[in-house]
Amino acid sequence: MRMVFRWFGEGNDTVTLEQIKQIPGVEGIVWALHDVPAGEEWPMDKIIEVKEKAEACSLNIEVVESVNVHEDIKLGLSTRDHYIENYKRTIEKLAQAGVKVICYNFMPVFDWIRTDLHKELEDGSTALFYEKNKIENINPEELVNEINKDSALTMPGWEPERLEYLTNLFKAYKDVDEEQLWNNLEYFLEKIIPIAEQHGIKMAIHPDDPPWSVFGLPRIITSQENLRRFLGLNESDSNCLTLCSGSLGANLQNNVPDMIREFSDRIAFAHIRNVRVYENGNFIETSHRAKDGSIDICEVVKAYHEMGFEGYCRPDHGRHLWGESCRPGYGLYDRALGIMYLWGIWDSLVKSRKESQSYDEFAIKS
């Protein structure tokens, strides 16, 4: 398991590379050029800029999250080929810079959806919260405004500019049902996977968050069955998953350890996070600890260990602790605590497997 940590870039993140470097076992950053609009080709000089900054702190840039997919591709419009060409060139450039995994998602209009970015937990910390009833009774414009008011930094996927074309987008999706979205995804994969394969890149789709339809929009990367269908669309080793325990786990029907066992050879990137799901369909993000949420994170890590997982892993989101003012879900403290919890489970599994051998990762090197 290769631990990495999401970083939004200088001036766009309260966490510094120097801080990330001090979290035990973190090898690299998970990054993106957040100011390049979806559909545009990423400029090489900006890619190199990030690479140089990260490498100056001995962190690699092997995982990108995300290269966003233009809506015209998801809608299957005739203009999609132009955006797919740009996407292919971005893949080539990223490979040239040393990137190995590109995370992306195929969610119409919105990326993740929550109703409250600072919901208080019993211990006084705050976390991202989803209230079912509110979602069913709010219109999307109102929610975009609320989300943006609640965060000092622009949240990827919730850019205020979106408001301008939101109504048109919703209209456009009226003709796209789940089957049509599957077709559009297959078309996209058919074009980009050969390029990824050629350049040794793994394309890793992120599940829909939450894993069900919201605002009447189709969502398809939601369940074990659908992940299986996705992998079957294109059998290449470059057609992979980002398995996000928190996104999938918001639906209690989803058994995340089972998914890890079934798909392990196609999981390029593990997102590990816990979430507490309530009977009324609401959910809140919690600490990583198994006891604190509905997902048994010990079992999740155990499944990865059992399958000999050697891919990248990051703590997904964290709570906001100790008065930290940060990008919602992306503070330093709780994600760092999460990493230590994950290492604690992982190292003890490694240790018990190697019981009789000396564990050289524990040896002190001069």
Which stretches of the chain bind ligand CS2, using CB under 6 A? 65-66, 103-105, 111-112, 157, 206, 209, 316, 329
Exposure pattern of 136-159 as b/e (b: 16+ CB <10 Å)? eeeebeebbebbbeeeebbbbbbe
Q: Is residue 208 within the footprint of Mn ion (CB under 5 A)?
A: no
Stretch that binds Mn ion, among 5-13, 22-30, 286-294, 311-319 (CB under 5 A): 311-319
How near is the Cβ of 316 to ligand CS2 at its closest, in Å?
6
| DSSP summary character for residue 150 | H
Please indicate whether residue 244 is annotated as part of the active site. Answer: yes
Q: Which does 72 bind (CB under 5 to 8 A by kind): Mn ion, ligand CS2, none?
A: none
What is the closest distance, in whole angstroms, from the C-beta atom of residue 237 to ligand CS2 in the complex?
20
Q: Residue 108 CB, nearest distance to ligand CS2 (Å)?
A: 12
Complex with ligand CS2: residue 250 or 305, whichever CB lies closer: 250
Q: Between 80 and 273, name the residue whose CB sits nearer to ligand CS2.
A: 273
- The smaller minimum CB distance to ligand CS2, of residues 30 and 303, is found at 30
Stretch that binds Mn ion, among 83-91, 123-131, 241-249, 337-345 (CB under 5 A): 241-249
241 token code pair: 């998953």
Minimum separation from the CB atom of position 360 to ligand CS2 (A): 35
Active site residue 333: no
Helix ranges restricted to H, the chain:
17-21, 44-56, 71-75, 80-97, 132-137, 140-150, 162-173, 178-198, 224-233, 245-249, 256-263, 297-306, 333-353
Structure tokens at 37: 């609009």
Name the residue with tokens 């394969």: 197
CB 47 within 8 A of CB 90: no
Tokens of 106: 């195929």
- Parallel, antiparallel, or unpaired for β 126-130 and 283-285? antiparallel
Which does residue 27 touch among Mn ion, ligand CS2, none (CB within 5 to 8 A, set by kind)? none
Binding at 66: pick from Mn ion, ligand CS2, none (beta carbon under 5-8 Å per type)? ligand CS2
Instruction: Count the neighbouring beta carbons within 10 Å of the beta carbon of residue 339.
Output: 23
Q: In angstroms, rounded to a whole number, what is the distance separating the alpha carbons of residues 234 and 51? A: 31
Is 305 one of the catalytic residues? no
Q: Is 316 among the catalytic positions?
A: yes
Is residue 271 involved in binding Mn ion (CB under 5 A)? Answer: yes
The question of whether 271 is a catalytic residue gets the answer: yes
Question: Least distance from C-beta 358 to Mn ion, angstroms?
Answer: 36
Q: Which residue stretch of 56-64, 68-76, 159-167, 316-324 sits at the interface with Mn ion (rule: CB under 5 A)? A: 316-324
Out of 70, 271, 288, 305, which one is annotated catalytic?
Answer: 271
Which residue, 30 or 84, has its beta carbon nearer to Mn ion? 30
Query: Closest distance between Mn ion and the C-beta of residue 357, in Å?
Result: 35
Residue type, position 35, single letter: D
Which residue among the candidates 312, 316, 320, 326 is catalytic per the annotation?
A: 316
Identity of the residue, 238 or 242, whose beta carbon is nearer to Mn ion in the bound complex: 242
Residue 206 a catalytic site member: yes
From CA 33, how far away is CA 44, in angstroms rounded?
A: 11
- The C-alpha atoms of residue 52 and residue 35 are separated, in whole angstroms, by 18
Q: CA–CA separation, 363 vs 357, rounded Å?
A: 12
The full DSSP string for 313-339 is EEE----B-TT---STT--SHHHHHHH
Identified catalytic residue from 103, 240, 244, 326: 244
> Which residue in 130, 173, 330, 341 is the catalytic one?
330
Of these, 316, 337, 341, 346, which contacts Mn ion (CB under 5 A)? 316
Gap between the Cα atoms of 55 and 331, Å rounded? 22
Residues of this chain that interact with Mn ion (CB under 5 A) are 244, 271, 316
Cite the active site residues: 206, 244, 271, 316-317, 330
